[in-house]
Every structure is written in C-alpha cells, then in structure tokens.
Amino acid sequence: MNTDVNTNVNSHVNSNTHTNAIGAGDIGREIAVDVDQFVDRYIAVWNEPDPVARRRRIAEVWAADAVELTPEARYQGLEALEERVASAHNQLVRDGGYLFHSAGDATAHHGAVSFTTHMIPAAGGDIAWTGRTFAALDEDRRIRYEYQFTVDLTKAPA
C-alpha cells in the first residue's frame, strides 16, 4: 500500500472528531462530530437510573421523529423510545445488575456514526451481550435513524 495513503487513512481513523455531511437531503453540508462524546451520551441514556434525567437525555440524543430498528421491533418517536429505553433499563440495569459500556471503536462520516456496545455485570465479569449500532444523524447531531444489531461473539472473524 502507498505509504502516503496509509498515513492519511490512519490519521482519519484515529481522529475522534470527524467532519461530516448530514443526511441525504443535506449532502455537502458539513459538521464536526466528536464520536466518543456522542457514544458516551448514547450509553449514558441506557444506564441512567433517574426517569426524569433519562427522558431529558433521550431528547438530547434522538430527534423527535427518530426511528430505532432492532431485529425484533421498530420504535418511532420520543415516547416510543422512552418506553423502550425505560423497559430495557429496568430489566437489564436496575433488576439485572448490568451496565452498558462502549467498546471504544466508534467511527463516523457523512452524518453517520457506528459503534459497538457491551453489556457487562456492574460488579465486573464477562461480556453478557454485544450490540453494534449504526445511526444516521440529523443537522442537530441527534439520531434520526438507528439500526441496532446483536453481535454473536462466538463467531470468530475469518
């Protein structure tokens, strides 16, 4: 591989701030996204124990008309997202004793963010679940469309 190209690719991959075009309707419009900060805010929503603070965080991370798609369901709008997050929090964090953590692999370009999340016992231990998220952002850097995938850690990459 050409050394100059490799250096250029690595400088972008290792940068935590990316300049992105936003959404299909706004191609060419650029913004700066601190992907690590974005992922920290996203994960904080799922771990937040206070319902009022969680509701506020949800409105800061997702657009009012946001859509989240999981393998099992589709959630649209802040009310549906709030119900989904509260249910997951109560089952997995409050009652299950888990916390969500970033895998530290967030990347972004052209108004989209992709990252991996691990669910780990709060007391420490092995990863109980891993998810991969792809999110398309709006002009306010809030999630407009989110796709969440479960990652099977028993399948080693080839």
For 50, 62, 116, 138, the CA distances from 56, given in Å and listed in that order, are 10, 10, 23, 18
Tens-digit pLDDT profile for residues 137-147: 998 999 999 99
Tens-digit pLDDT profile for residues 63-121: 999 999 999 999 999 999 999 999 999 999 999 999 999 999 999 988 899 999 999 99
CB 109 within 8 A of CB 94: no
Mean pLDDT is lowest, of 5-14, 26-35, 137-146, for 5-14
Residue among 140, 6, 138, 150 nearest 72 (CA): 150
What is the reported pTM? Answer: 0.80
**Residue with token string 């929503």:** 45
Q: What is the CA radius of gyration of the chain?
A: 17
Residue among 37, 40, 35 nearest 13 (CA): 35
The first and second tokens of residue 15, run together, are: 């940068």
